[in-house]
A and B are shown apart, each in its own frame.
Chain A
């Protein structure tokens, strides 16, 4: 017997979730017939993209009777690094045999506005597909002009709504996504979301539900954003060094070149702001800064040192510096667009101005 037979169609659960509607037949309104419907969540560790993908795909399989798979890109468990979460859905009888990441998504959901800048975030989006991104009201960023012109572009203030509802952006974005694709049965996904938290945090259920419902209604469809004619190209970032160019043995003879990394996308809405007039230059903050991003210079006379500011290129927004400051010279502020760029003091002005 072949594996195709092994993965023979599973009987759709006869008790397919009642909220899906009377007479629901798994796959009857599935938007594509001869391939998978694929979704990619682009996120930062800690925003809940992995959980969102898992809830969505799990509900699609267990409640909507579809076939589905879910996985995420990360391996080592770090908060604040880029995470991609993949959902692959198919008709009930279609076996899933590929394990590789989603490269040509029907829908891309961006959990953090800073990710729009990365070329990989939008890569491969199909013409006629959907981009949902998390941002407060405002014009679409110029990067989105690359999108296919018939792609739907949807903006939702997922972070703002999540903060107001004491939820997380993932609940809001799931609400927007299912509103954009009715075959995903918004009520069914909401029920799955509620069940996910029911056992753990009873009060989280209500706030997630509000966040989800607001995500499904308070979005904005942006017209005329994309100018492209076709699917966005697939991006497969290759290695910087290859076998002919890399030093043997995997060594990195370039000390401290992590300084060229940009960790700005790790912040989630707040930054420390430095007020030089209140600073006594005691360096307590320097002793606890986890990102080594505070900038100090010797006084002109060589007798003392001064804190000059923060290099936000590296700051992940942990706020430990604020906690340590005895004079209030560091304060916690919302990160409005452009604020970090305006206030940034470069740590290596000659190399990375």
Chain B
């Protein structure tokens, strides 16, 4: 059995590799910061070389804060927006192999999407730091905080530090660098803090006011090998089977054991600098405690408040909470619980079917190694999906421990706390009557193949006739005033005939239509995470056709399958969407392009045009918005040689509806359709709520967003501003939006010129394709 010393809060045995001078107390100043801001400030002060990231609530603010600072030249971290968290993790891994310092931030599904890379990185021993603002994992999708993402990281070989408040987020980021880069450790490190409770709560903190002392503390990275030293060629990531892999993992295990020694040294040194102590196991009023609760991060702090109250009432209670989760402080837990009669362990995530969440299982396993221990352990799964943990909840946990101490059989060893059975008779609103096929099939667009041209002809009924078709989306959704998504959906649904199944990828349209327990969808709707919607719908389409073929479903009422995604979903979900296109499934992919990740607070997407201001392409003295041109998603799909590709804008309903009608014909008869629709976002384009018509018109008339279709390989421009004499300069469009007005200043003339040139180049290319059937 290991001794307590492996985890004791050491105040002696300083790390001798650090010069004496840095041991002086560091100058600090009071600040008022959230956990995300604290992480960003620490990153700035550490001076990372590179950050790879992909926005996900509630961690996104770290990148946003750093983007704002970068725009003003306050740091020089190279910030690379990944195409998704998996891509971001790859960016970070590659950068880490290059020997510099690397940062990432994520949450929830972002961690799960990236996690495949994590054992790769620990197994090949490339240190970096990941800030994890913990959040519930899907599905159903919940954006608030629990520890279900964190628990998935336990087996990845990464060191995990637990930051209980914004101060700890700041402090432990500095420690993370030193721990991970220690020559005997060389492992990546996670700093985990509670999503929203810590990530978004501003608190009084102290920040360093002494750059030289910070530099001395973090030192310089000193990798033994890098991928950027041609004089020392090295092979990273060989093909390694038995008998070798187990030895590689033994080395990883030994690195974790080394971390047990290194962590108290580094935290002790940090404590001498800051005056703030982080023992690997935080033990609050445990000296004579008869009962205790074991919790992580913010809930543990709440429990301390209640422990004080209960001590005042004469109860000998304490609180245990790890500051370090990997390596797990088992010995310190055994020591702290020696003589404690009963504990309640709160797990903010379940390991389903295991009779406890991971914290419970590991504490129980640690205690099992002490034959003298008789602590009764009660496990409670609590706080899932961001459910608040109030003082009275902490009191309940203590009371259960006290009860278990008195009567070990009297308290269930495992239970959910805070789940509610529901009240008989309490129901959400009943819903609208299901739409009948006849109600929505009113022949608003007549589609006929034209043998002469090989294209489809569409005859559209007048708009007024469409106004009595019941919309497939009900009112009562929670979108922002003026949101363009609903006009897009309404226009498209007005011409689509028959039964439709929709799949919405994660994004604004998904969030605002399905806030549980209400839904705006009057037809069958599926959400899947935006990295995988197209694949999901392709599976459903094929199941439909197979069940029709087997006679299990009627083949007569043909269904149409439509995937709805934002432009963000067409970044992270591009791979599966292209796979779906190459397989040519009979479905429609409809992208509402509002030029950014608006659901998470307007971060740049690859569809965001050059120079546009977003929360991750900020403007300042150094940078002037997004630094690369927009992705041409329609042309990417055209290159897949699917039957039909179109672009449209919600400001031109007849054009959009003609294309939607064609889309349905092709999806029923030939295969995949992709359509990109420019969709107004007043909040994040920074316009008035009623500014759609003018700004959309200008985007089309300046040829930034050409309206065209690629039908069986033939490109046809459906609205030509040049021919109509309506061509306007790009500036006419940019001057209408708060996110782009800075581009019209003389200082940004080069940006404007670059946008004009790229717009013209793409437009001419399109014109050439329009003019030549061979293109």
Contacts and interface: CB of A to CB of B under 8 A. Distances in A.
Interface of B: 9, 30-32, 34, 57-58, 139-140, 143-144, 164, 167, 194, 196-198, 200-204, 206, 271, 275-279, 282-285, 298, 301-302, 304-305, 388-391, 419-424, 426-432, 434-435, 463-468, 471, 473-487, 490-491, 508, 511-523, 598-602, 650, 653, 682-683, 689-693
B521 A255 contact: yes
A316 B348 CA distance: 37
A67 B429 contact: no
B32 A62 contact: yes
A54 B517 CA distance: 32
A322 B476 CA distance: 20
A283 B518 contact: no
A243 B511 contact: no
B476 A261 contact: yes
Nearest to B432: A256
B301 A67 contact: no
From A250, A292, A313, name the one whose CB has the most chain B CB atoms within 10 angstroms: A292
A1 B9 contact: yes
Nearest to B682: A318
Given A1-B279, A290-B482, A244 B422 contact: yes
Interface stretch (A97-105, A128-136, A142-150, A205-213): A97-105
B479 A305 contact: no
Contact of A255 (B277, B432, B602): B432
A239 B422 contact: yes
B431 A255 contact: yes
Contacts of B426: 240-241, 245
Given A8-B275, A246-B517, A257 B422 contact: no
Contacts of A75: 57-58, 143-144, 196
A69 B205 CA distance: 10
A289 to B, nearest CB: 7
A320 B302 contact: no
Given A75-B58, A256-B474, A297 B30 contact: no
A142 B248 CA distance: 72
Contact of B482 (A3, A13, A70, A320): A320
Contacts of A291: 475, 477, 479, 481, 486
A7 B283 CA distance: 15
Contacts of B601: 77
A99 B420 contact: no
Contacts of A98: 301-302, 305, 390-391
* 9 residue pairs, one from A and one from B, having the closest CB atoms: A242-B422, A254-B431, A256-B474, A245-B422, A258-B476, A260-B429, A318-B482, A261-B476, A1-B277
A241 B422 contact: yes
A172 to B, nearest CB: 22
A291 B689 CA distance: 12
Given A283-B464, A291-B475, A318-B481, 10 more contacts: A4-B284, A13-B30, A69-B202, A77-B602, A99-B201, A242-B422, A286-B463, A286-B467, A347-B475, A351-B432
B107 to A, nearest CB: 11
Contact of A307 (B466, B467, B483, B517): B467
Interface stretch (A78-86, A154-162, A177-185): A78-86
Contact of B513 (A76, A258, A319): A258
A62 B32 CA distance: 7
B429 A254 contact: yes
B481 A77 contact: no
A257 B432 contact: yes
Nearest to B196: A75
A191 interface: no
Contacts of B204: 10, 61, 67-69, 96
A22 interface: no
Interface string A339-350: 000000001100
21 contacts: A4-B284, A75-B58, A78-B478, A80-B478, A97-B301, A97-B304, A99-B197, A100-B391, A242-B422, A243-B419, A245-B424, A250-B516, A256-B474, A257-B432, A257-B517, A261-B478, A281-B467, A284-B463, A291-B481, A304-B464, A320-B692
A288 interface: yes
Contacts of A267: 481
B427 A240 contact: yes
Contact of B481 (A80, A256, A283, A324): A80
A169 B279 CA distance: 46
Contacts of B427: 240-241, 245
Interface residues of A, number: 93
B422 A256 contact: no
Contacts of A246: 422, 517
A179 to B, nearest CB: 23
A257 to B, nearest CB: 4
Contacts of B692: 288, 320, 323
Given A1-B277, A246-B517, A307-B467, A292 B475 contact: yes
Contact of B690 (A69, A99, A245, A320): A320
Given A78-B512, A242-B419, A3 B282 contact: yes
A51 to B, nearest CB: 12
B689 A282 contact: no
A303 B518 CA distance: 36
B301 A3 contact: yes
B487 A288 contact: yes
A287 B463 contact: yes
Nearest to B390: A100
A259 B476 contact: yes
A311 interface: yes
Given A241-B427, A318-B482, A72 B200 contact: yes
A296 B466 CA distance: 10
A290 B680 CA distance: 10
Given A256-B519, A318-B690, A244 B201 contact: no
A5 interface: yes
B475 A259 contact: yes
A318 B203 CA distance: 36
A204 interface: no
A238 interface: yes
Contact of A320 (B200, B428, B689): B689
A255 B523 contact: yes
B389 A252 contact: no
Nearest to A90: B204
A259 B474 contact: yes
A94 B712 CA distance: 71
Given A72-B200, A100-B388, A283-B466, A258 B477 contact: yes
A1 B268 CA distance: 11
A2 interface: yes
Contacts of A239: 420, 422, 517
B429 A290 contact: no
Contact of A243 (B420, B431, B476): B420
